[in-house]
Amino acid sequence: MKKIAIIGAGISGLFIANLFKKNPNYQITLYEKKTSIALEEGYGVQLSVNSIRFLNEIGFHKLRNNEKFTPEKINFYSNENLNKICELDITNFNSENCQYTTLKRSSLINFLKTDLEDLIKTGYNISNIDQQNKLIKLSFENGQSYEYDYLIISDGVFSKSKSLISNNEAQPKYNNTLAVRGILSKSPENIDSKNIAIFFGSNYHHVIYPVNSNGDLNFIAIIKHPLSKEEQKKQTLFGDKLFIRKVLEKFPLKNKDFLIDLKELKIFPVFVSNNFHKLQNDNIHFIGDAFYAFPPSFAQGASQSIEGAYELFKSIENNTQGDFYKNRINKTKMVNRRSKFNQFAFHLSNPLITFVRNIFLKVLVKNKKFLEFYLGKIYNN
Ligand SMILES: Cc1cc2nc3c(=O)[nH]c(=O)nc-3n(C[C@H](O)[C@H](O)[C@H](O)COP(=O)(O)OP(=O)(O)OC[C@H]3O[C@@H](n4cnc5c(N)ncnc54)[C@H](O)[C@@H]3O)c2cc1C
Protein backbone atom coordinates (compact mmCIF):
# COMPACT_ATOMS: atom_id res chain seq x y z
CA MET A 1 0.00 0.00 0.00
CA LYS A 2 1.36 3.46 -0.98
CA LYS A 3 1.30 6.26 1.55
CA ILE A 4 0.18 9.70 0.38
CA ALA A 5 0.40 13.00 2.27
CA ILE A 6 -1.77 15.91 1.18
CA ILE A 7 -0.88 19.36 2.53
CA GLY A 8 -3.80 21.83 2.72
CA ALA A 9 -7.48 21.00 3.23
CA GLY A 10 -9.00 23.50 0.78
CA ILE A 11 -11.16 22.59 -2.21
CA SER A 12 -8.37 20.78 -4.13
CA GLY A 13 -6.88 18.88 -1.17
CA LEU A 14 -10.25 17.72 0.12
CA PHE A 15 -11.41 16.66 -3.33
CA ILE A 16 -8.33 14.57 -4.15
CA ALA A 17 -8.52 12.98 -0.68
CA ASN A 18 -12.08 11.85 -1.49
CA LEU A 19 -10.87 10.24 -4.71
CA PHE A 20 -7.97 8.34 -3.11
CA LYS A 21 -10.15 7.27 -0.20
CA LYS A 22 -12.10 5.02 -2.57
CA ASN A 23 -8.96 3.17 -3.69
CA PRO A 24 -7.69 0.58 -1.14
CA ASN A 25 -4.16 0.69 -2.65
CA TYR A 26 -3.52 4.06 -1.04
CA GLN A 27 -3.40 5.28 2.51
CA ILE A 28 -3.88 9.04 2.75
CA THR A 29 -3.35 11.70 5.42
CA LEU A 30 -4.48 15.27 4.95
CA TYR A 31 -2.58 17.94 6.90
CA GLU A 32 -4.20 21.33 7.55
CA LYS A 33 -2.48 24.19 9.36
CA LYS A 34 -5.67 25.65 10.82
CA THR A 35 -7.13 24.10 13.94
CA SER A 36 -10.41 23.37 12.13
CA ILE A 37 -11.59 23.19 8.54
CA ALA A 38 -12.63 26.73 7.54
CA LEU A 39 -16.34 26.90 6.81
CA GLU A 40 -16.29 30.54 5.67
CA GLU A 41 -19.98 31.28 6.00
CA GLY A 42 -21.58 33.09 3.14
CA TYR A 43 -19.36 33.66 0.19
CA GLY A 44 -20.18 31.91 -3.01
CA VAL A 45 -18.39 29.96 -5.67
CA GLN A 46 -19.32 29.26 -9.28
CA LEU A 47 -18.62 25.79 -10.62
CA SER A 48 -18.71 25.16 -14.35
CA VAL A 49 -19.64 21.76 -15.77
CA ASN A 50 -16.02 20.60 -16.13
CA SER A 51 -15.77 20.36 -12.34
CA ILE A 52 -19.35 19.20 -11.69
CA ARG A 53 -18.65 16.10 -13.81
CA PHE A 54 -15.81 15.09 -11.45
CA LEU A 55 -17.61 16.15 -8.28
CA ASN A 56 -20.51 13.88 -9.25
CA GLU A 57 -18.12 10.91 -9.03
CA ILE A 58 -18.04 11.46 -5.27
CA GLY A 59 -21.80 12.07 -4.97
CA PHE A 60 -22.18 15.84 -5.47
CA HIS A 61 -25.45 15.28 -7.37
CA LYS A 62 -26.92 14.10 -4.05
CA LEU A 63 -26.28 17.47 -2.35
CA ARG A 64 -29.64 18.93 -1.30
CA ASN A 65 -31.15 21.29 -3.85
CA ASN A 66 -31.64 24.06 -1.28
CA GLU A 67 -27.84 24.18 -0.84
CA LYS A 68 -27.07 24.94 -4.48
CA PHE A 69 -28.42 26.79 -7.49
CA THR A 70 -28.26 26.22 -11.23
CA PRO A 71 -28.38 29.57 -13.08
CA GLU A 72 -29.16 29.45 -16.78
CA LYS A 73 -27.79 32.74 -18.00
CA ILE A 74 -25.08 35.29 -17.49
CA ASN A 75 -26.57 38.77 -17.89
CA PHE A 76 -24.10 41.54 -18.76
CA TYR A 77 -24.88 45.07 -17.62
CA SER A 78 -23.19 48.43 -18.03
CA ASN A 79 -22.50 50.40 -14.87
CA GLU A 80 -22.89 53.63 -16.82
CA ASN A 81 -26.64 53.46 -17.33
CA LEU A 82 -27.45 50.12 -15.64
CA ASN A 83 -28.82 48.89 -18.97
CA LYS A 84 -28.52 45.24 -19.85
CA ILE A 85 -26.05 44.78 -22.70
CA CYS A 86 -26.81 41.17 -23.56
CA GLU A 87 -27.08 37.66 -22.12
CA LEU A 88 -25.20 34.39 -22.49
CA ASP A 89 -27.03 31.06 -22.29
CA ILE A 90 -24.80 28.79 -20.18
CA THR A 91 -27.15 25.81 -20.37
CA ASN A 92 -25.62 25.05 -23.80
CA PHE A 93 -22.73 23.43 -21.94
CA ASN A 94 -24.90 21.49 -19.50
CA SER A 95 -25.84 17.84 -19.75
CA GLU A 96 -28.55 15.99 -17.82
CA ASN A 97 -26.45 15.48 -14.66
CA CYS A 98 -23.87 18.22 -15.07
CA GLN A 99 -25.14 21.75 -14.75
CA TYR A 100 -23.38 25.05 -14.15
CA THR A 101 -23.78 25.43 -10.40
CA THR A 102 -23.43 28.20 -7.83
CA LEU A 103 -23.32 27.61 -4.07
CA LYS A 104 -21.85 28.80 -0.80
CA ARG A 105 -18.22 27.81 -0.31
CA SER A 106 -19.18 26.50 3.10
CA SER A 107 -21.68 24.08 1.49
CA LEU A 108 -19.00 22.80 -0.89
CA ILE A 109 -16.34 22.42 1.82
CA ASN A 110 -18.83 20.76 4.13
CA PHE A 111 -19.76 18.26 1.42
CA LEU A 112 -16.08 17.56 0.63
CA LYS A 113 -15.03 16.96 4.23
CA THR A 114 -17.98 14.81 5.30
CA ASP A 115 -16.34 11.41 4.66
CA LEU A 116 -12.81 12.46 5.62
CA GLU A 117 -13.12 13.24 9.32
CA ASP A 118 -10.71 10.41 10.34
CA LEU A 119 -8.10 11.32 7.68
CA ILE A 120 -7.67 15.04 8.38
CA LYS A 121 -5.06 16.22 10.87
CA THR A 122 -5.67 19.85 11.81
CA GLY A 123 -3.12 22.13 13.49
CA TYR A 124 -0.26 20.78 11.31
CA ASN A 125 1.85 23.52 9.71
CA ILE A 126 4.55 22.16 7.41
CA SER A 127 8.11 23.22 8.31
CA ASN A 128 10.38 21.01 6.18
CA ILE A 129 10.20 18.75 3.14
CA ASP A 130 13.11 16.38 2.69
CA GLN A 131 13.22 14.44 -0.58
CA GLN A 132 15.16 11.29 0.31
CA ASN A 133 15.53 8.80 -2.55
CA LYS A 134 12.03 7.43 -3.10
CA LEU A 135 10.64 8.51 0.26
CA ILE A 136 9.60 12.02 1.24
CA LYS A 137 10.09 13.08 4.84
CA LEU A 138 7.72 15.78 6.13
CA SER A 139 8.33 17.75 9.31
CA PHE A 140 5.77 19.95 11.01
CA GLU A 141 6.08 22.92 13.36
CA ASN A 142 4.70 20.82 16.21
CA GLY A 143 7.87 18.71 16.04
CA GLN A 144 6.32 15.63 14.42
CA SER A 145 7.68 14.09 11.21
CA TYR A 146 6.50 11.29 8.90
CA GLU A 147 7.58 9.55 5.69
CA TYR A 148 5.49 9.15 2.54
CA ASP A 149 5.69 7.67 -0.95
CA TYR A 150 3.81 10.61 -2.52
CA LEU A 151 3.32 14.24 -1.55
CA ILE A 152 0.44 16.30 -2.91
CA ILE A 153 0.74 20.02 -2.24
CA SER A 154 -2.56 21.91 -2.08
CA ASP A 155 -1.88 24.68 0.42
CA GLY A 156 -3.18 27.54 -1.75
CA VAL A 157 -1.78 30.60 -3.48
CA PHE A 158 0.69 31.44 -0.67
CA SER A 159 1.88 27.80 -0.61
CA LYS A 160 4.51 27.44 2.10
CA SER A 161 5.35 23.97 0.78
CA LYS A 162 6.14 25.49 -2.62
CA SER A 163 8.38 28.10 -0.99
CA LEU A 164 10.19 25.35 0.92
CA ILE A 165 10.77 23.28 -2.21
CA SER A 166 11.65 26.21 -4.52
CA ASN A 167 13.81 28.09 -1.99
CA ASN A 168 11.33 30.99 -2.10
CA GLU A 169 11.63 31.37 -5.88
CA ALA A 170 7.97 30.77 -6.75
CA GLN A 171 6.19 33.68 -5.04
CA PRO A 172 2.75 34.97 -6.15
CA LYS A 173 2.34 38.60 -7.20
CA TYR A 174 -0.29 41.22 -6.37
CA ASN A 175 -2.80 41.48 -9.23
CA ASN A 176 -3.33 45.22 -8.58
CA THR A 177 -6.92 44.50 -7.67
CA LEU A 178 -8.90 44.17 -4.47
CA ALA A 179 -11.79 41.73 -4.10
CA VAL A 180 -14.78 42.93 -2.11
CA ARG A 181 -17.10 40.14 -1.07
CA GLY A 182 -20.40 39.95 0.74
CA ILE A 183 -23.86 38.44 0.80
CA LEU A 184 -27.03 40.24 -0.24
CA SER A 185 -30.28 38.95 1.21
CA LYS A 186 -32.25 41.38 -0.97
CA SER A 187 -31.85 41.67 -4.70
CA PRO A 188 -30.84 45.10 -6.07
CA GLU A 189 -33.55 46.67 -8.26
CA ASN A 190 -33.82 45.75 -11.92
CA ILE A 191 -31.62 42.70 -11.90
CA ASP A 192 -32.61 39.15 -12.70
CA SER A 193 -31.76 37.53 -9.36
CA LYS A 194 -32.23 33.98 -10.68
CA ASN A 195 -29.15 34.27 -12.85
CA ILE A 196 -25.59 35.58 -12.84
CA ALA A 197 -25.29 39.36 -13.29
CA ILE A 198 -21.98 40.96 -14.31
CA PHE A 199 -21.65 44.75 -14.20
CA PHE A 200 -18.82 46.37 -16.17
CA GLY A 201 -17.26 49.64 -14.98
CA SER A 202 -14.09 51.63 -15.36
CA ASN A 203 -11.28 49.59 -13.74
CA TYR A 204 -14.03 47.72 -11.94
CA HIS A 205 -16.59 44.94 -12.27
CA HIS A 206 -18.97 43.24 -9.92
CA VAL A 207 -20.84 39.98 -10.08
CA ILE A 208 -24.06 39.02 -8.27
CA TYR A 209 -25.41 35.47 -8.29
CA PRO A 210 -27.76 33.27 -6.24
CA VAL A 211 -26.08 30.68 -3.98
CA ASN A 212 -29.14 28.69 -2.94
CA SER A 213 -32.88 28.56 -3.40
CA ASN A 214 -33.50 30.80 -0.33
CA GLY A 215 -32.75 33.98 -2.26
CA ASP A 216 -29.24 34.61 -0.81
CA LEU A 217 -27.06 36.36 -3.37
CA ASN A 218 -23.29 36.44 -3.52
CA PHE A 219 -21.71 39.82 -4.24
CA ILE A 220 -18.14 40.06 -5.47
CA ALA A 221 -16.52 43.21 -6.82
CA ILE A 222 -13.05 43.43 -8.31
CA ILE A 223 -11.57 46.92 -8.33
CA LYS A 224 -8.18 48.15 -9.51
CA HIS A 225 -6.28 49.43 -6.49
CA PRO A 226 -2.48 49.62 -6.51
CA LEU A 227 -0.87 48.87 -3.14
CA SER A 228 2.68 49.36 -1.96
CA LYS A 229 4.68 46.24 -0.97
CA GLU A 230 4.16 47.14 2.71
CA GLU A 231 0.39 47.58 2.26
CA GLN A 232 0.11 44.22 0.48
CA LYS A 233 1.46 42.48 3.55
CA LYS A 234 -0.46 44.51 6.13
CA GLN A 235 -3.40 42.22 6.97
CA THR A 236 -4.90 44.76 9.42
CA LEU A 237 -5.36 47.26 6.55
CA PHE A 238 -8.08 45.13 4.93
CA GLY A 239 -10.16 45.10 8.10
CA ASP A 240 -9.71 48.82 8.74
CA LYS A 241 -13.09 50.64 8.59
CA LEU A 242 -11.65 53.80 7.00
CA PHE A 243 -9.87 51.77 4.30
CA ILE A 244 -13.06 49.81 3.57
CA ARG A 245 -15.09 53.05 3.30
CA LYS A 246 -12.53 54.55 0.92
CA VAL A 247 -12.62 51.46 -1.31
CA LEU A 248 -16.45 51.44 -1.40
CA GLU A 249 -16.45 55.16 -2.25
CA LYS A 250 -14.23 54.37 -5.24
CA PHE A 251 -16.86 52.02 -6.73
CA PRO A 252 -17.92 53.63 -10.05
CA LEU A 253 -21.63 53.02 -9.43
CA LYS A 254 -24.51 55.42 -10.05
CA ASN A 255 -26.62 53.87 -7.34
CA LYS A 256 -24.83 52.41 -4.32
CA ASP A 257 -27.93 52.07 -2.15
CA PHE A 258 -27.95 48.26 -2.38
CA LEU A 259 -24.52 48.14 -0.72
CA ILE A 260 -26.25 48.98 2.58
CA ASP A 261 -27.75 45.46 2.49
CA LEU A 262 -24.31 43.84 2.06
CA LYS A 263 -23.59 41.42 4.92
CA GLU A 264 -20.30 39.76 5.95
CA LEU A 265 -18.39 42.30 3.86
CA LYS A 266 -14.73 41.45 3.46
CA ILE A 267 -11.93 43.01 1.42
CA PHE A 268 -8.78 41.21 0.39
CA PRO A 269 -5.95 41.75 -2.10
CA VAL A 270 -5.96 39.39 -5.09
CA PHE A 271 -2.67 37.54 -5.63
CA VAL A 272 -1.92 35.50 -8.75
CA SER A 273 0.85 33.14 -9.78
CA ASN A 274 3.92 34.46 -11.49
CA ASN A 275 5.22 31.28 -13.07
CA PHE A 276 5.12 27.48 -12.99
CA HIS A 277 7.40 25.45 -10.80
CA LYS A 278 8.68 22.22 -12.36
CA LEU A 279 9.70 19.55 -9.88
CA GLN A 280 12.43 16.99 -10.44
CA ASN A 281 10.76 14.46 -8.15
CA ASP A 282 7.94 12.54 -9.89
CA ASN A 283 6.31 11.74 -6.55
CA ILE A 284 5.65 15.34 -5.52
CA HIS A 285 2.86 17.32 -7.19
CA PHE A 286 1.07 20.66 -6.87
CA ILE A 287 -2.66 21.10 -7.35
CA GLY A 288 -5.17 23.97 -7.02
CA ASP A 289 -3.88 27.49 -6.36
CA ALA A 290 -0.54 26.04 -5.26
CA PHE A 291 -0.12 24.81 -8.86
CA TYR A 292 -1.29 28.11 -10.36
CA ALA A 293 -3.62 30.91 -9.18
CA PHE A 294 -5.56 32.87 -11.83
CA PRO A 295 -7.13 36.34 -11.75
CA PRO A 296 -10.72 35.64 -10.60
CA SER A 297 -12.48 37.15 -13.68
CA PHE A 298 -13.16 33.80 -15.36
CA ALA A 299 -14.42 32.13 -12.14
CA GLN A 300 -12.29 29.06 -12.88
CA GLY A 301 -9.99 28.76 -9.84
CA ALA A 302 -12.08 26.23 -7.94
CA SER A 303 -13.17 24.38 -11.09
CA GLN A 304 -9.56 24.05 -12.27
CA SER A 305 -8.53 22.96 -8.76
CA ILE A 306 -11.05 20.13 -8.99
CA GLU A 307 -10.16 19.24 -12.57
CA GLY A 308 -6.40 19.23 -11.81
CA ALA A 309 -6.94 17.11 -8.70
CA TYR A 310 -8.91 14.57 -10.75
CA GLU A 311 -6.20 14.42 -13.44
CA LEU A 312 -3.49 13.90 -10.83
CA PHE A 313 -5.49 11.15 -9.12
CA LYS A 314 -5.89 9.32 -12.44
CA SER A 315 -2.22 9.74 -13.37
CA ILE A 316 -1.03 8.33 -10.04
CA GLU A 317 -3.55 5.48 -10.29
CA ASN A 318 -2.42 4.66 -13.85
CA ASN A 319 1.25 5.42 -13.20
CA THR A 320 1.37 8.09 -15.93
CA GLN A 321 2.53 10.95 -13.74
CA GLY A 322 4.91 12.30 -16.38
CA ASP A 323 1.90 13.47 -18.44
CA PHE A 324 0.17 15.27 -15.57
CA TYR A 325 2.41 18.34 -15.48
CA LYS A 326 2.47 18.78 -19.29
CA ASN A 327 -1.32 18.49 -19.71
CA ARG A 328 -2.09 20.69 -16.72
CA ILE A 329 0.21 23.44 -17.95
CA ASN A 330 -1.54 23.55 -21.32
CA LYS A 331 -4.99 23.85 -19.77
CA THR A 332 -3.77 26.34 -17.15
CA LYS A 333 -2.29 28.59 -19.83
CA MET A 334 -5.61 28.56 -21.74
CA VAL A 335 -7.57 29.50 -18.61
CA ASN A 336 -5.03 32.13 -17.59
CA ARG A 337 -5.20 33.87 -20.99
CA ARG A 338 -9.02 34.02 -20.78
CA SER A 339 -8.98 35.21 -17.17
CA LYS A 340 -6.59 38.05 -18.02
CA PHE A 341 -8.52 38.97 -21.15
CA ASN A 342 -11.83 39.03 -19.25
CA GLN A 343 -10.41 41.36 -16.64
CA PHE A 344 -9.07 43.65 -19.37
CA ALA A 345 -12.40 43.69 -21.28
CA PHE A 346 -14.60 44.04 -18.17
CA HIS A 347 -12.56 47.01 -16.87
CA LEU A 348 -12.34 49.20 -20.00
CA SER A 349 -12.80 52.94 -19.36
CA ASN A 350 -12.87 54.85 -22.63
CA PRO A 351 -16.55 55.43 -23.68
CA LEU A 352 -15.86 54.81 -27.36
CA ILE A 353 -13.97 51.60 -26.66
CA THR A 354 -16.63 50.33 -24.24
CA PHE A 355 -19.27 51.08 -26.87
CA VAL A 356 -17.37 48.93 -29.38
CA ARG A 357 -16.79 46.21 -26.72
CA ASN A 358 -20.52 46.04 -26.05
CA ILE A 359 -21.31 45.65 -29.77
CA PHE A 360 -18.76 42.83 -30.05
CA LEU A 361 -20.12 41.16 -26.94
CA LYS A 362 -23.70 41.21 -28.28
CA VAL A 363 -22.51 39.40 -31.40
CA LEU A 364 -20.17 36.97 -29.68
CA VAL A 365 -22.66 35.66 -27.09
CA LYS A 366 -24.78 34.38 -30.01
CA ASN A 367 -21.89 32.99 -32.02
CA LYS A 368 -21.73 29.22 -31.49
CA LYS A 369 -18.23 28.82 -32.94
CA PHE A 370 -16.81 31.52 -30.69
CA LEU A 371 -18.56 30.12 -27.60
CA GLU A 372 -17.26 26.66 -28.36
CA PHE A 373 -13.74 28.05 -28.66
CA TYR A 374 -13.80 30.44 -25.69
CA LEU A 375 -15.90 28.48 -23.18
CA GLY A 376 -16.42 24.99 -24.61
CA LYS A 377 -12.66 24.29 -24.69
CA ILE A 378 -12.57 24.96 -20.96
CA TYR A 379 -15.95 23.61 -19.85
CA ASN A 380 -16.11 20.45 -21.99
CA ASN A 381 -12.64 19.10 -21.33
C1 LIG B 1 -12.20 36.90 -5.17
C2 LIG B 1 -12.14 35.48 -5.67
C3 LIG B 1 -13.28 34.91 -6.18
C4 LIG B 1 -13.23 33.61 -6.67
N5 LIG B 1 -14.35 33.07 -7.23
C6 LIG B 1 -14.27 31.86 -7.80
C7 LIG B 1 -15.41 31.28 -8.46
O8 LIG B 1 -16.51 31.86 -8.49
N9 LIG B 1 -15.27 30.08 -9.06
C10 LIG B 1 -14.09 29.41 -9.03
O11 LIG B 1 -14.00 28.33 -9.63
N12 LIG B 1 -13.02 29.89 -8.37
C13 LIG B 1 -13.08 31.09 -7.76
N14 LIG B 1 -11.99 31.60 -7.13
C15 LIG B 1 -10.78 30.78 -7.00
C16 LIG B 1 -10.90 29.71 -5.94
O17 LIG B 1 -11.39 30.25 -4.74
C18 LIG B 1 -9.55 29.07 -5.66
O19 LIG B 1 -8.94 28.75 -6.89
C20 LIG B 1 -9.70 27.77 -4.84
O21 LIG B 1 -10.29 28.03 -3.60
C22 LIG B 1 -8.33 27.14 -4.64
O23 LIG B 1 -8.46 26.02 -3.80
P24 LIG B 1 -7.18 25.35 -3.15
O25 LIG B 1 -7.67 24.13 -2.49
O26 LIG B 1 -6.10 25.24 -4.13
O27 LIG B 1 -6.65 26.43 -2.08
P28 LIG B 1 -7.33 27.03 -0.78
O29 LIG B 1 -8.81 27.01 -0.90
O30 LIG B 1 -6.65 28.33 -0.56
O31 LIG B 1 -6.94 26.01 0.39
C32 LIG B 1 -5.63 25.91 0.89
C33 LIG B 1 -5.67 25.19 2.24
O34 LIG B 1 -4.33 24.94 2.67
C35 LIG B 1 -4.20 25.32 4.04
N36 LIG B 1 -2.79 25.67 4.28
C37 LIG B 1 -2.16 26.82 3.93
N38 LIG B 1 -0.88 26.77 4.33
C39 LIG B 1 -0.67 25.58 4.94
C40 LIG B 1 0.46 24.98 5.56
N41 LIG B 1 1.63 25.62 5.66
N42 LIG B 1 0.33 23.72 6.09
C43 LIG B 1 -0.86 23.06 6.02
N44 LIG B 1 -1.99 23.62 5.45
C45 LIG B 1 -1.89 24.86 4.91
C46 LIG B 1 -5.14 26.51 4.18
O47 LIG B 1 -5.49 26.77 5.52
C48 LIG B 1 -6.32 26.04 3.34
O49 LIG B 1 -7.23 25.25 4.06
C50 LIG B 1 -12.01 32.88 -6.61
C51 LIG B 1 -10.87 33.45 -6.06
C52 LIG B 1 -10.92 34.76 -5.61
C53 LIG B 1 -9.66 35.38 -5.05
Q: Which atom of ligand 1 is nearest to the CA of 291?
A: 26
Q: Which atom of ligand 1 is nearest to the CA of 51?
A: 11
Arithmetic mean of pLDDT over the chain: 93
pLDDT digits (tens, 9 = 90+) for 277-314: 888 788 999 999 999 999 999 999 999 999 999 999 99
Q: Which domains does the chain have, with CATH numbers?
A: 2-172+273-379 (3.50.50.60), 175-272 (3.30.9)
3-state secondary structure of 294: coil
Residue 20's pLDDT is what?
97
Segment 128-156 mean pLDDT:
94
pLDDT class of 116 with cuts at 50, 70, 90: very high
One-letter-per-residue 3-state SS of 53-110: HHHHCCCHHHCCHHHEECCCEEEEEECCCCCEEEEEEHHHHCCCCCCCEEEEHHHHHH
**pTM attached to this predicted model:** 0.95
Q: Give the Cα separation of 144 and 379 in Å (integer).
A: 42
Our answer on whether the CB atom of 302 is closer than 6 Å to any ligand 1 atom is yes
Our answer on whether the CB atom of 31 is closer than 6 Å to any ligand 1 atom is yes
CB-based contact 2:94 (threshold 8 Å): no
Q: How many helices (H) and strands (E) does the chain have?
A: 11, 18
List all residues 6 or more positions away from 126 whose beta carbon is below 8 Å from its beta carbon.
Answer: 7, 31, 33, 138, 139, 140, 141, 155, 160, 161, 164
Q: Give the Cα separation of 182 and 44 in Å (integer).
A: 9
3-state secondary structure of 116: helix
Our answer on whether the CB atom of 270 is closer than 6 Å to any ligand 1 atom is yes
Residue 329's CB is within 10 A of a number of other CB atoms, namely 14
Share of the chain above pLDDT 90, in %: 81
Residue 169's CB is within 10 A of a number of other CB atoms, namely 11
Segment 168-179 mean pLDDT:
90
List all residues 6 or more positions away from 276 whose beta carbon is below 8 Å from its beta carbon.
Answer: 291, 292, 329, 332
pLDDT class of 321 with cuts at 50, 70, 90: confident
Our answer on whether the CB atom of 342 is closer than 6 Å to any ligand 1 atom is no
3-state secondary structure of 134: coil
Phi, psi of 320 (to 5 degrees): -125, 45
Segment 189-209 mean pLDDT:
94
pLDDT digits (tens, 9 = 90+) for 31-76: 999 999 877 666 899 999 999 999 999 999 999 888 999 999 999 9
